[in-house]
Structures are given as structure tokens and as C-alpha cells.
Amino acid sequence: MKKLLTLCLAAGMTLSAAHGASAVELKVDGTYDFSFSGSSNINGGRSFMSSSDHRHNFKRDLRGRQFDALQRMRLGFEFIMSEQLSAYYQAQIGTFYWGGPYKGAKKAEADGGSLATRAANVTTRLAYLDWMVPRTDIHVRMGQQPFALPAYVAGSPILDDPAAGVAINAPITDWLDLTGFWIRAVSDQSKTSTGEYEYDNADVDLFGLVADMKFDAFRLTPWGIVGHGGKEFANVKNAGNTASGVLPFNGMNRLYRENGVLMSEADGSSSTIWFAGISGEYKPFDPLRLALDFYYSSTDNSHASTERSGWYVAGLAEYKMPWFVPAIVAWYATGDDGNASNGSEQPLTLSGGFDPGARAYFDGRFSIANTIDKCDAGGTWGVSAQLNKISFMRDLHHDLAVTYFQGTNSKHMPRTIERLGGEVSPADYLTRGDSIIEVDFNSTYQIYKNLVAVLELSYLFQDIDDNVWRTADDSKGDFSDAWRAALNFRYKF
């Protein structure tokens, strides 16, 4: 907490120093999240496996947590000089587990949550400057800021996360807004013992344009992104989701056949990255809303085995009624074919927030409770039947969703990936032989104006092909259903 107190003190000193020269208005906002969640067979890449399943599949015990209590705080400061100039800073305290974990035999303060430790893990989440170009309506935002690509159906499977860059918004007419942006997604700043950078060419730069067209009954938003990835970006430790979402499973390893055997070797080529999409919604009359999202994406590298290209489409129909809102969500995203040497056929993604209704498998509420957390649609198709906003009591409503989804990846790919040194599981790579039915029942209670409680209940019925997911000794894999229950609290101020 020392860092947080220092931050608040610095903010106060800034205001005091500016008092005699110019008035700076300070606004404080934030969220305080708590989550108490229990689950069974939801353990990241080892999901859908009980302890006995894991012992059979991998010949070792599974160490999974069954219950978690977590907390996280996001504290924001907006420094307003005028309507034309302001700055924003948001710190995040946590997320940390009650009771630890802590590192080694000695408790670490930075971890927090454990008895006799203090949570000191304070990080910067957002830090940006807002300003208007003089005598125009053009708005400029510079710094670490939220980026979300247009999506009207189930959230963006590509990008819905903070990123560092510049965004420029210009209203062209009453019905058209243009937004252009540049994101520096990856940049390696690590130096070796000799003082040189660890990688010479590791940057990933993305340039995008969004055209938002609003009319009386419908809204249409075409958009596009083009970028460049340096030849070393897949090796950068902080590349995170970007590397795994842009490159095929073999990354920058070129695949070739030698005496009929598929081999791999490091490839030093760079990547051209691009996305093109269109999103729209149509409201022919007030209770009915129709929406559609589509995008195609691709990379262009020196070798076909390091390239990736694919497409995604999703549709929504919902009708608002007095007591609930029935809705249908459907989506399809291409998956890998059986030929590893021609790269990947999954659509590209950066750091998405795909949420079609199955929140235990895909993106969960508030992004704090335990989920499998596959936040993109790549390699899957599905249909979700929903009854949302069910309400018979003031300040309390429920959401019910039954979602069926199946893989679009070839059944042959998991074994190929394994032979080449990679690793996938049904938790993040469904084949055409794998399907899941997830049932979600979520209840939201507005305790006070600024305090909400959300109870999430999920059960996942698995039908995973045990012939596809075989063990090292070539016996059939064992899998089990999964469930999750989470009670979340959010205080927003």
C-alpha cells in the first residue's frame, strides 16, 4: 500500500502546486472487486480432467485449486485542465489471493493475501493524455489506454484490452465518425550483460482505421488494421497473447519434410499482419435488435508453415419483453486443417474479450473469477439460446444461457502439434470431434447504487473425443464434466 499512498500524496501535491497558477480539477473513480469461487475440473489447460483423469492421461497428479477468494482494486485519477485538455491515470492493486500464494519459505510482501504479509503489488493499468486539436472537434488520446474493436454480438474476439498507442477521433458529418490509431503491441527493451538489446527486430506495430456510421434504424462500422511484426517478436517474453494469437502453433519455426518426416527449424522472417472487418446492428422497431460481426485476418511470412489466416462471423437476434429479453447468438470461426506445413487456418487475435454466453469456457464477468478464459472464437462454432434480464423483483435480475459449441480444427492436429514439441488441450483447442454444452445461470443484485453482487453458476457437459486426445502410451484419454460457482462483488465509485 506504500505505493498507493505515495501516488495519492503526489496527486495532492500536484493540485497544491497548480493552485496559484491554473485550476486543475481532480476526479477520482474506480472499482473494488471481490470474488469467492469454487470449481471442479476447471484448471486452465488441464480443464475437463479430474485428478484420476490427469493421472491416467499424464501419469502424474494434478494440483488444482478448488476454492479461491480474490480481490482487486482499480483506482483512477482524472486531471482536468479544461474541456480541451485532461489526463488520466489508473492504478491496479492486485489481483491477489486470500491466503497467498507466497514465494518460497519466506513470505513475500509483493504477493500479498497471506497471513503476516502486506499486499504491495501495485501496477499501472492506464495512463493517457486527452486533448483537442485547437479550433477543431478532433480528439487525440495518447498513452496506455483501453482499445476495443467494434463488436455488436458477443464482444470482440480480437482486441478488448489496454494497449499503448495513439488514437485520433474526428467527427466528419452528423452520421460519420472516423477513428485512426497506432498501437505498439510488442517491443523488447531487455538488454544483455554487454548492454545490447536482447533482440534486434522484435517490435509489433499496428495501424487501424474505424468508420462509425450511425443512422436512425441501423449502425454500420467497417474497420481495418495493418501491421508489421519483427522477426524476433515471437521470442519476446512480454509478447503474451499477441504472439500466440498471430502466429500458428509452431510460431516462427519453419516446417519441412525430410525423408517423409515432418521437421522444424527456426525461421528468421518478419510478418505482415492485417485484419478487415465490418460490424452492424439493425433496430427495425424498438424491442427487436439484430446484429452481425465479421472479420477476415491473415499474416504474410516467408514460409507457408509460419503463416496464419482465417475468418469469423457472428449473429445476434434479441427481443426486449417486459419481464425478460430472449436472444439467440450464433458464431463460426475457421479452424486448422490437417496439414501443418501450410500454417494455421484460425483467425488472428490479439487480446480479445469474446463472450457468447458461455462464461466458464470463454470470457467471464469482471475477469476475476476462475474460468477457462478462452477469450477468442478461433477454431470453434456454436449457438447460444438465452433469456436475459429476467426480473420479477426490483434490483434483482437473472440471465440464463444454454450454449452448444464444437471445434472446427482437424482431428489430426493435436497429435501433430505434440510431435513437433507443442502442447494443446480441449481447454483451448477443440477439434471437430469435440463438443461442449454449457449451462449458465447468473443472478445480479443491486445492493446499493454503487454496490452489486453477481452469482455465477455454470455446468459444462463435455463430449471430448478420447480417440483424438490419446495418452503417451496411445491409450484413450479420460475426461470429465466441469462446473463453477462464483459469488462476485463490485463496488464502483
CA neighbor of 305 nearest in space, from 334, 274, 263, 340: 340
* Domain-located, residue 17: no
Q: CB of 140 within 8 A of CB of 130?
A: yes
* Domain-located, residue 57: no
Who contacts 122 (Cβ-Cβ below 8 Å, separation ≥6)? Answer: 1, 3, 4, 7, 91, 92, 93
Distances (CA, A) of 109 to 73, 101, 106, 303: 17, 11, 10, 47
pLDDT digit string, tens, across residues 143-182: 999 999 999 999 999 999 999 999 999 999 999 999 999 9
Q: CB of 357 within 8 A of CB of 403?
A: yes
Q: CB of 204 within 8 A of CB of 228?
A: yes
* Dist. CA 267–CA 235, nearest whole Å: 12
At CA 480, angle to CA 476 and CA 485, rounded to 5? 160
pLDDT digit string, tens, across residues 221-235: 999 999 999 888 887
CA neighbor of 346 nearest in space, from 357, 356, 333: 333
Q: What is the pTM of this model?
A: 0.90
* Dist. CA 289–CA 283, nearest whole Å: 5
- pLDDT at residue 252, as a whole number: 84
Of 97-101, 118-122, 289-293, which range is least confident?
Answer: 118-122
* Domain-located, residue 44: no
Structural domain boundaries enclosing 169:
135-488
Distances (CA, A) of 84 to 137, 228, 307, 406, 464: 10, 33, 44, 49, 56
pLDDT at residue 48 is higher than 80: yes
How far from the centroid of its chain's Cα atoms is residue 135's Cα? 38
Q: Looking at the 3D structure of the chain, how many domains does it have?
A: 1
* Domain-located, residue 101: no
**pLDDT classification of 103: cutoffs 50, 70, 90:** low
* Dist. CA 123–CA 125, nearest whole Å: 6
Higher pLDDT: 382 or 229? It is 382
- pLDDT at residue 351, as a whole number: 93
* Domain-located, residue 447: yes
* Domain-located, residue 56: no
* Domain-located, residue 193: yes
CA neighbor of 161 nearest in space, from 246, 241, 276: 241
CATH number, domain with residue 228: 2.40.160.100
Who contacts 210 (Cβ-Cβ below 8 Å, separation ≥6)? Answer: 149, 150, 178, 179, 180, 181, 221, 222, 223
Q: What is the DSSP letter of 85?
A: E
pLDDT at residue 468 is higher than 50: yes
pLDDT digit string, tens, across residues 299-332: 998 888 899 999 999 999 999 999 999 999 999 9
Q: CB of 358 within 8 A of CB of 279?
A: no
| Cell numbers found for residue 101 | 500464494
At CA 371, angle to CA 101 and CA 461, rounded to 5? 130
Higher pLDDT: 376 or 236? It is 376
Name the helix (H) or strand (E) containing 3.
helix 2-18
Distance from the first to the final alpha carbon of the chain = 19
* Domain-located, residue 37: no
Write phi, then psi, for 208 (nearest 5 degrees).
-135, 160
In sequence order, what E strands does 378-467 have?
Answer: 380-393, 396-407, 435-448, 451-463
- pLDDT at residue 393, as a whole number: 92
Instruction: For the chain, give the mean pLDDT.
Output: 89
**pLDDT classification of 215: cutoffs 50, 70, 90:** very high
